[in-house]
Amino acid sequence: MNIKPRWRKGFGLAQIMAMIIVVIPTFAFIITILFDYWTVMQLDNRLKLMSHRTIIIIDNNETLGTFSLPEAEKTVIASLCPPSMPTLTFVRIGDMPAGQTKIESTLAYDKFNHLEAKSVSSIITSYSYRDQNGSFKQECKGTL
């Protein structure tokens, strides 16, 4: 008698049930976590772009004594905010050592699939050839 073990062709009921109960929901959960991770990375990238653009505008200014972000530039920078947070606030916090300028961009985002609300921030300190010293904060906020 010649009996050879062979692989069973096709899926049995146990394999189908395991696929439905375990594998497919786990795969869907991992995909939605990846979407959340992608969203956080996009927010971080946008905040860095906002900080970089703002620090360039500040460094090109003659003086920071009466500085305020120009409306045209504020509109461009606000376009980098998430669509659910269209308002950009820009505030001077205080002074830095001579020749240094600091910009801090922040936002609190709560529209994730599985993650709790996250506060994302980006801080850039610039060393200017002009004798400037200022610390600024900009934040994306939602409208009420």
* Helix residue spans in 63-112 (DSSP H): 71-78
**59-98, pLDDT tens digit by residue?**
888 777 777 888 999 999 999 998 888 889 999 898 888 8
pLDDT at position 139 over 90: yes
pLDDT averaged over the chain? Answer: 85
Domain ranges of the chain: 13-141
> How high is the pLDDT of residue 70?
87
Task: Name which of 60, 48, 62, 72 is nearest 138 in CA terms.
Answer: 48
Instruction: Calculate helix-pair angle for 71-78, 24-59, nearest 10 degrees.
Output: 170
